[in-house]
Chain A
């Protein structure tokens, strides 16, 4: 399957072409180049997926891990070296499909959304760069290649968030995103260093001897790597960059901050899964707890946000929390019990990518229509933009876990796994699932129902988006409808063996009931023109509402750490020290030389008697010196 290298090469070529020659091209041409290339990549990815999964399974019933390409890029020592290559196994192939699909949709969508924007070519160049990096990340053959593309993904996200580089918020957001993730990547890097030192390789499949040596340090190494993953996947408390990242163009949010990049952390954990299971189950459970808390925190914040993209952002964080939990609750238990969460997590990653991208693109259409992110400017849009309305509704149902939409199936698997791990965890996650349904429908009603902002709409009548934007919506909606029925367990499972997804009736029932109740509640509170209950609650618990609205002051906390601690209490003193102590010492030396010069100057009094006096003094001193010393 050597052709898979093209999946990487094509985007980078289009990036170079657009970056170097883009300014010479018209918008249409550059956009077409990007889109066509991405189309090709998508086709190749599907082809790769088909070829891969149609290969005969191995004797032990798992899919073979293929490495069609691998070459040493940067040699360190005999055993340690960064390789660049392509690795195909179930999850990487699955990711190829996800990324290329969403990216392709976003490319098409952007035609309409970014129409006439300044820097259209730049936009498409960055999209290609991002796609390339993301694909490179998922097909990495070793942890260091993953880190390389990890960084590239980070920077392309930085560039795309800061696409409107004249907007101060955009600049701040992009900076924040990069620095926070960079900070997390430090953990990743140190983890890699420890891994490489103790296990003696960067590859995902160390030798037995290496594992023997490294077994003791593996939990630490994997934990540090997870810090990196937590940063990219916006786990609490490193999540703060993601809501701000919504300053970027909406298609970018759909692609990077909903579907692909933010799940890199999940992918990383899945990638190291065998090592976690075998050597660091405790670390894996820490992952689970972090994920659960994040999911809850994000969901609770999402319930009160008024900016639709912020709501979606927090719901993304929450959903990624779900995936992390699913991975975290895995155990070494035999057959599929232990590994169920793994499959569930990957499944949810897949479905979530689709419907969350759909939600963001839909939000994009709405923003496009009303030129604002604020719910207050919306309401009652369903009659203006039917397609968007329907697709958005589908996505909401999917994320709320209503059968037969894809979200139901994946989330159900996750809950099953959680219950298998511990009932407490199971119930917590079910509750959070309910909250998900609640805030999603609050959003839905706030946009499409509720009181219409008449005067605004009179001034500027909202309209359905052009086909280039609605087409991707329909495609994604279609996928969302059918994806649930994919026999996912046949492709991706914890132990690699084929497995039939069967619904655990009780879990399914409970989650459905909870979801329906939550939706009903949301309908009760937000479907009408006025929302007395909600306002009453807000008035009843002003503190809580305020805190949730301000995201429980996490940003302020971080600002305190960065501005006060780092900037004021470290950098300034260091700089002062440098100028006044270190440098001051050097200047002091110069001054001292001058001063002592003036000290000896009187010697040169100009009076000859004084001169011969010194002369005699010198003789006497020297004589005494000789008489005493020698």
Chain B
């Protein structure tokens, strides 16, 4: 049976907001990082779906998705590196511990 494009988009949207929500609520830096990954992948899903359903026969969306994945991988790498750095400094990666700079 044919799954309507809206469903996919809904999945994407749900992922996005799940990510956003996670980012708001999670106190652990790694958890927030995972949430951001959710958001990025939501966008990637959109690209793939749009390409597949609305503009079949072209590859722009797919390529965009691929690049998006690659870039998010790079970002994650850097992010984790920095978190290690944070951990080395404060022995902890709770978001509350990186709130010295304020005001």
Where the two chains meet, the residues of A that have a C-beta atom closer than 8 Å to any C-beta of B are 601, 604-609, 612-613, 616
Contact between B23 and A604 (Cβ–Cβ < 8 Å)?
A: no
**What CA separation (Å) do A576 and B101 show in the bound complex?**
46
Contact A609 to B95, CB < 8 A, known contacts A604-B102, A604-B103: yes
Where the two chains meet, the residues of B that have a C-beta atom closer than 8 Å to any C-beta of A are 20, 23-25, 32, 95-96, 98-103
Contact between A607 and B103 (Cβ–Cβ < 8 Å)?
A: no
**What CA separation (Å) do A607 and B95 show in the bound complex?**
7
The 8 closest A-B pairs by CB, nearest first: A606-B102, A606-B99, A607-B99, A609-B24, A606-B101, A604-B103, A612-B23, A604-B102
B23, B24, B98, B99: the one within 8 Å of A605 (CB):
B99
Extra A-B contacts (10), CB below 8 Å, given A606-B101, A609-B95: A606-B103, A607-B96, A607-B102, A608-B32, A608-B99, A609-B23, A609-B24, A609-B25, A609-B32, A612-B24
Instruction: Give the nearest-CB partner of A606 in chain B.
Output: B102
What distance in Å separates the Cβ of B86 from its nearest Cβ neighbour in chain A? 12
Q: In the assembled complex, which residues on chain B have CB atoms less than 8 Å from the CB atom of A612?
A: 20, 23-24
What distance in Å separates the Cβ of B35 from its nearest Cβ neighbour in chain A? 10
Contact between B24 and A613 (Cβ–Cβ < 8 Å)?
A: yes
What distance in Å separates the Cβ of A615 from its nearest Cβ neighbour in chain B? 9
Q: In the assembled complex, which residues on chain A have CB atoms less than 8 Å from the CB atom of B23?
A: 609, 612
Q: In the assembled complex, which residues on chain A have CB atoms less than 8 Å from the CB atom of B25?
A: 609
**What CA separation (Å) do A196 and B101 show in the bound complex?**
76
What distance in Å separates the Cβ of B18 from its nearest Cβ neighbour in chain A? 14
Sample 28 A-B pairs with CB under 8 A, ordered by A number.
Answer: A601-B103, A604-B102, A604-B103, A605-B99, A605-B102, A606-B99, A606-B100, A606-B101, A606-B102, A606-B103, A607-B95, A607-B96, A607-B99, A607-B102, A608-B32, A608-B95, A608-B98, A608-B99, A609-B23, A609-B24, A609-B25, A609-B32, A609-B95, A612-B20, A612-B23, A612-B24, A613-B24, A616-B20
Instruction: Give the nearest-CB partner of B101 in chain A.
Output: A606
What distance in Å separates the Cβ of A621 from its nearest Cβ neighbour in chain B? 16
**What CA separation (Å) do A605 and B101 show in the bound complex?**
8
What distance in Å separates the Cβ of B34 from its nearest Cβ neighbour in chain A? 14
Q: In the assembled complex, which residues on chain B have CB atoms less than 8 Å from the CB atom of A606?
A: 99-103
Main secondary structure of the interface of A (DSSP, over half): helix
Instruction: Give the nearest-CB partner of A608 in chain B.
Output: B95
What distance in Å separates the Cβ of B37 from its nearest Cβ neighbour in chain A? 15
Instruction: Give the nearest-CB partner of B98 in chain A.
Output: A608
**What CA separation (Å) do A418 and B16 show in the bound complex?**
111
What distance in Å separates the Cβ of B54 from its nearest Cβ neighbour in chain A? 22
**What CA separation (Å) do A604 and B99 show in the bound complex?**
10
**What CA separation (Å) do A609 and B36 show in the bound complex?**
12
**What CA separation (Å) do A601 and B103 show in the bound complex?**
6
**What CA separation (Å) do A152 and B41 show in the bound complex?**
94
**What CA separation (Å) do A253 and B47 show in the bound complex?**
108
What distance in Å separates the Cβ of A607 from its nearest Cβ neighbour in chain B? 5
Q: In the assembled complex, which residues on chain B have CB atoms less than 8 Å from the CB atom of A604?
A: 102-103
Instruction: Give the nearest-CB partner of B20 in chain A.
Output: A616
**What CA separation (Å) do A613 and B96 show in the bound complex?**
15
Instruction: Give the nearest-CB partner of B35 in chain A.
Output: A612
What distance in Å separates the Cβ of B96 from its nearest Cβ neighbour in chain A? 7
Q: In the assembled complex, which residues on chain A have CB atoms less than 8 Å from the CB atom of B20?
A: 612, 616
What distance in Å separates the Cβ of B89 from its nearest Cβ neighbour in chain A? 16
**What CA separation (Å) do A251 and B98 show in the bound complex?**
93
**What CA separation (Å) do A264 and B42 show in the bound complex?**
101
**What CA separation (Å) do A605 and B96 show in the bound complex?**
11
**What CA separation (Å) do A616 and B95 show in the bound complex?**
18
**What CA separation (Å) do A608 and B86 show in the bound complex?**
14
Q: In the assembled complex, which residues on chain B have CB atoms less than 8 Å from the CB atom of A608?
A: 32, 95, 98-99
**What CA separation (Å) do A617 and B68 show in the bound complex?**
25
A604, A605, A609, A612 pick with most chain B CB within 10 angstroms? A609
Instruction: Give the nearest-CB partner of B25 in chain A.
Output: A609
Q: In the assembled complex, which residues on chain B have CB atoms less than 8 Å from the CB atom of A613?
A: 24
Instruction: Give the nearest-CB partner of B99 in chain A.
Output: A606
B32, B99, B101 pick with most chain A CB within 10 angstroms? B99
**What CA separation (Å) do A604 and B100 show in the bound complex?**
11
Q: In the assembled complex, which residues on chain A have CB atoms less than 8 Å from the CB atom of B32?
A: 608-609
**What CA separation (Å) do A480 and B62 show in the bound complex?**
127
**What CA separation (Å) do A605 and B100 show in the bound complex?**
9
What distance in Å separates the Cβ of A503 from its nearest Cβ neighbour in chain B? 103
Q: In the assembled complex, which residues on chain A have CB atoms less than 8 Å from the CB atom of B103?
A: 601, 604, 606
**What CA separation (Å) do A240 and B86 show in the bound complex?**
90
Instruction: Give the nearest-CB partner of B100 in chain A.
Output: A606
Q: In the assembled complex, which residues on chain B have CB atoms less than 8 Å from the CB atom of A607?
A: 95-96, 99, 102
**What CA separation (Å) do A605 and B25 show in the bound complex?**
16
**What CA separation (Å) do A68 and B25 show in the bound complex?**
103
What distance in Å separates the Cβ of B41 from its nearest Cβ neighbour in chain A? 18
Instruction: Give the nearest-CB partner of B23 in chain A.
Output: A612
Instruction: Give the nearest-CB partner of B96 in chain A.
Output: A607
What distance in Å separates the Cβ of B22 from its nearest Cβ neighbour in chain A? 10
Q: In the assembled complex, which residues on chain B have CB atoms less than 8 Å from the CB atom of A601?
A: 103
**What CA separation (Å) do A39 and B102 show in the bound complex?**
91
Instruction: Give the nearest-CB partner of A601 in chain B.
Output: B103
Q: In the assembled complex, which residues on chain B have CB atoms less than 8 Å from the CB atom of A605?
A: 99, 102
**What CA separation (Å) do A612 and B102 show in the bound complex?**
15
Instruction: Give the nearest-CB partner of A607 in chain B.
Output: B99
A601, A604, A608, A616 pick with most chain B CB within 10 angstroms? A608
**What CA separation (Å) do A601 and B102 show in the bound complex?**
9
**What CA separation (Å) do A231 and B25 show in the bound complex?**
88
**What CA separation (Å) do A608 and B103 show in the bound complex?**
13
**What CA separation (Å) do A609 and B102 show in the bound complex?**
13
Instruction: Give the nearest-CB partner of B102 in chain A.
Output: A606
**What CA separation (Å) do A350 and B23 show in the bound complex?**
107
What distance in Å separates the Cβ of A407 from its nearest Cβ neighbour in chain B? 93
Instruction: Give the nearest-CB partner of B27 in chain A.
Output: A609
**What CA separation (Å) do A612 and B98 show in the bound complex?**
15
What distance in Å separates the Cβ of A603 from its nearest Cβ neighbour in chain B? 10
What distance in Å separates the Cβ of B97 from its nearest Cβ neighbour in chain A? 10
What distance in Å separates the Cβ of A368 from its nearest Cβ neighbour in chain B? 84
What distance in Å separates the Cβ of B94 from its nearest Cβ neighbour in chain A? 11
**What CA separation (Å) do A600 and B90 show in the bound complex?**
29
